[in-house]
Chain A
Amino acid sequence: MNNVFVYCEIEEGQIAEVSLELLSKGRSLANLKKCKLEAVVIGSDIKSIEKQIFPYGADIVHVADEKRLYPYTTNPHTAIVKRLFEQEKPSIGLFGATSIGRDLAPRIASVLKCGLTADCTALEIGNHTENKTKKEYKDLLYQIRPAFGGNIIATIINPDTRPQLATVREGVMKKEINSADHYGDVNQIDVADWLSDDDFVVRIIERHIESSKVNIKNAGIIVAGGYGVGSRENFNLLYELAAVLGGEVAGSRAAVDGGFVEHERQVGQTGVTVRPKLYIACGISGQIQHRAGMDQSAIIISINNDTEAPINQIADYTINGDLTEIIPKMIKFYQKNTK
């Protein structure tokens, strides 16, 4: 009762990165609340999957293992999580803000009539006093996220409903092993009893999942472009600079929406969160959703012809001017000084 639960996703027999990150965050939230951390993992052929989870600090792992439970479909996973949550009454439930988590978590929130906050960029534990009634709430989950197009940062709470649900994007929380030899309890769910054939009305006919070719999350150097880059052609300059420096190319949401760069390279609240040692922002104005995904970069360079672009205010170096002129010069002077 009143524990922290993390829904763990599976990719090819491995617990997804985002789930490991959430387990790490869940462990620290559970420590603050002085409660247990529990994980739920639903899939097929996942014998001893708990071994991947326990090092991240889970006290209990609930496993539902059945052939039809992988790949993910909405209804059977909803049915299992719903029943488990009704039975175990968690205080907090965390899901990855992924294709799966964003499909599943709202369905759970609806059936349990509880609150859910999407795409949180921070989670904290804190108290609350209701203004009108002066009622005191202890140890609530503060669900913090940019809102209204990123022009404000909102702290959301669910004072009266449980569990308090939140989704978080991959890369936002830090993955940390709690204790490599930690071991907890495993609860095998009696799937046959928990599911009915009606839960399988949606059938998967075909799937093409590509392993990600792009890895901007772990890149040490990122050359990122915004709408100000102007075209897909101009983005080639960014690829050239990235190749010379040994980095990756990324884009803001505006650049992705503009078709200059593919979605898997998007940095920001609705993309990937990155922490490179060097982030070169080209033609990026720097709205809060974008900055939420890159402001922990060690060094930030902004190249922009708008001297008042908001990103300049968090940049270590601001270069005022045209990126089609500046980037070739950066390549030239880099090569000149490293030879």
Chain B
Amino acid sequence: MKGLKIIVLAKQVPDTRNVGKDAMKADGTVNRAALPAIFNPEDLNALEQALRIKDKYPGTTITVLTMGPGRAAEIIREAMYRGADDGYLLTDRKFAGSDTLATSYSISLAIRKLSPFDIVIAGRQAIDGDTAQVGPQVAEKLGLPQITYAEDILSVKKGVITVKRRLERGVETVAAPMPVVITVHSSAPECRARHAKYTIKYKHARSLSELQDTSEDYLQLQKDRPYLLIREWGIDDIDADLEQLGLSGSPTKVKKIENVVFTSRESKVLSAADGDIEYLMKELIDNHTIG
């Protein structure tokens, strides 16, 4: 079989899993700027699935597509170090404020520009929102079938892909014709580490906005090695309708944000001493909570 064309959707996210004390402001709210920006974990699981197909079917190409600010080019480089071939960064102020519907609109337009392709693959959800909506919405906008919660791609042959899915209480194996949109569950294998060869090859990959403050020598280097260019697309590049983007294209509005404030209960503080533990267990037995 000849190689496939795979588009991996990835997102750079603030690492909301471990909000340490450094990231807390004096008023108890989170200082988002202090959180490290990382490659969304399940998108790495998705990249690994794409790389496994590429291992199996030489000639397969992997294109990473992301949407975000200029610094999100970092995750495209990360993907290149692991074996992705090229990457596109959708970046434009007019994307700001997009909810999942507006985001999937923009991403689906970019994917259409990258047509033809066989597989669009993404993480199930991003840790900054946990909505799991963009994958299915992109599939709908492209008019393609979707396979969500993929754990393992079992086979790809004759235009049909067979995938094992992880459900709440079990697993299911489904077959779908390509092209198809797949979202990958965190139970899928972790992504491989950077490959030394690719890390050297793509270490100097830069987007246009990253190039603005680089030297003449570097510009020449990139001219000689066009694969070092991470392409940036704005709304004009994907022929987007302004009404369907950003805030105006987002049906969901945030009415209210409340910082999480801990309302204290009257708490009895105990130590690990025998007396304290025995007191507690007796009290719980006496008030019929246990026993």
Contacts and interface: CB of A to CB of B under 8 A. Distances in A.
A22 to B, nearest CB: 16
A150 B265 contact: no
B104 interface: yes
A316 B169 CA distance: 34
Given A118-B131, A153-B260, A314-B262, A277 B175 contact: no
B83 interface: no
The range of chain B's interface size is 35 or more
Interface residues of A, number: 90
Interface string A286-301: 0110000000001111
B119 interface: no
Contacts of B271: 319-321
B172 interface: yes
B217 interface: no
A254 B250 CA distance: 32
A89 to B, nearest CB: 15
Interface in A114-129: 114-119, 128
Interface in B93-112: 99-101, 104
Nearest to B279: A333
A317 interface: yes
A324 B16 CA distance: 29
Contacts of A257: 17, 186
A245 B270 CA distance: 20
Interface stretch (B51-59, B60-68, B141-149, B221-229): B141-149
A74 B174 CA distance: 12
Looking at A113, A143, A152, which has the most chain B CB atoms within 10 Å of its CB?
A: A152
A320 B270 contact: yes
Interface in B125-175: 127-137, 139-141, 145-149, 162, 167-175
Interface stretch (A42-50, A53-61, A96-104): A96-104
Given A152-B257, A207-B170, A270-B130, A313 B270 contact: no
Nearest to A317: B268
A322 B272 contact: yes
B101 A102 contact: no
Given A204-B172, A207-B172, A312 B101 contact: no
A157 B252 contact: yes
For the complex, would chain A's binding face be called helix, strand, loop or mixed by DSSP majority?
mixed
A334 B281 contact: yes
Contacts of B162: 205
A151 B132 contact: no
Contacts of B251: 113-115, 158, 160-161
A222 B280 CA distance: 16
A209 B260 contact: no
Contacts of A109: 100-101, 133, 137
A319 B16 CA distance: 27
A159 to B, nearest CB: 6
Contacts of B256: 154-155
Given A109-B100, A161-B251, 16 more contacts: A99-B149, A106-B134, A106-B140, A115-B251, A148-B14, A152-B29, A153-B258, A202-B145, A203-B176, A204-B173, A277-B289, A315-B267, A317-B267, A319-B270, A329-B274, A337-B282
Interface of B: 14, 16-17, 19, 29-30, 32, 99-101, 104, 127-137, 139-141, 145-149, 162, 167-177, 186, 250-260, 262-272, 274, 276-278, 280-282, 284-285, 289-291
Interface of A: 71, 73-75, 78, 98-99, 102-103, 105-107, 109-111, 113-119, 128, 142-143, 146-161, 201-212, 221, 245-246, 254, 257, 264, 269-270, 277-278, 287-288, 298-301, 310, 312-322, 325-326, 329-330, 333-334, 336-338
